[in-house]
Amino acid sequence: MDIIYGTYNPGKYKSMVKRLKGLDINLIPLNSFDRNLEEADENGKEPLDNAIAKAQAYYRQLKRPVFSCDSGLFFDNVDEDDQPGVYIKRVKGKTLTDLGMQSYYSNLASKYGGRLTAYYKNSICLIINDNIIYKYDGQDINSDKFYIVSKPHNIFQKGYPLDSLSVNIKTNKYYYDMDEQEYNRSNGFRKFFIRVLKLQ
């Protein structure tokens, strides 16, 4: 089944292709369309609000099955003003670049002693047609808790600026320094597609 993934982020596209490998799903990236697509206003207070808005915007223009995801970043034990939530890239009204994000969150970790305990609250909206729409933000698609640290790893991947600051809690290693066998990625997204599309 062909499904459009509503993102222009190449890192997120590659990651989702890997998560869904082996399923009868052909993910189509937005940049494969030879047209400028209007993007949704992401003004929701929760990740699911933004996932729905993005999926609806792309479906309205393409009229083909499409899904979008959105995330909120949350920290344990920080001041409310320092809690990003859905505003991961937008800080005090300013949209940060990838390097700007790395710098901001590195400095924020420094403010709290060098590291922050964090997790991503994820959501997904899949639109098959005008009548079939799936919305989901269950805990099984959230990330495990991890550390955001002040010292960046020397690897920097475009589209995933915070990965260079991310450290596994159990191993105390940067994720970039870990083998795939050392940690389990959430398979909640895979289970979502299997469940709603009745895939085997």
Quick: pLDDT tens for 176-191. Answer: 999 876 665 668 999 9
Q: Which position has the token pair 């949350």?
A: 74
pLDDT at 157: 87
Quick: pLDDT tens for 96-147. Answer: 999 999 999 999 999 999 999 999 999 999 999 999 999 999 999 999 999 9
pTM score of the predicted model: 0.85
Distance CA 160, CA 61 (A): 27
SS3 content of the chain, % helix, strand, coil (to 5): 35, 25, 40
Cβ pair 48, 137 in contact under 8 A: yes
Distance CA 25, CA 150 (A): 38
Distance CA 77, CA 112 (A): 9
Q: Which top CATH class is 2-197?
A: alpha beta
Structure tokens at 100: 């700007």
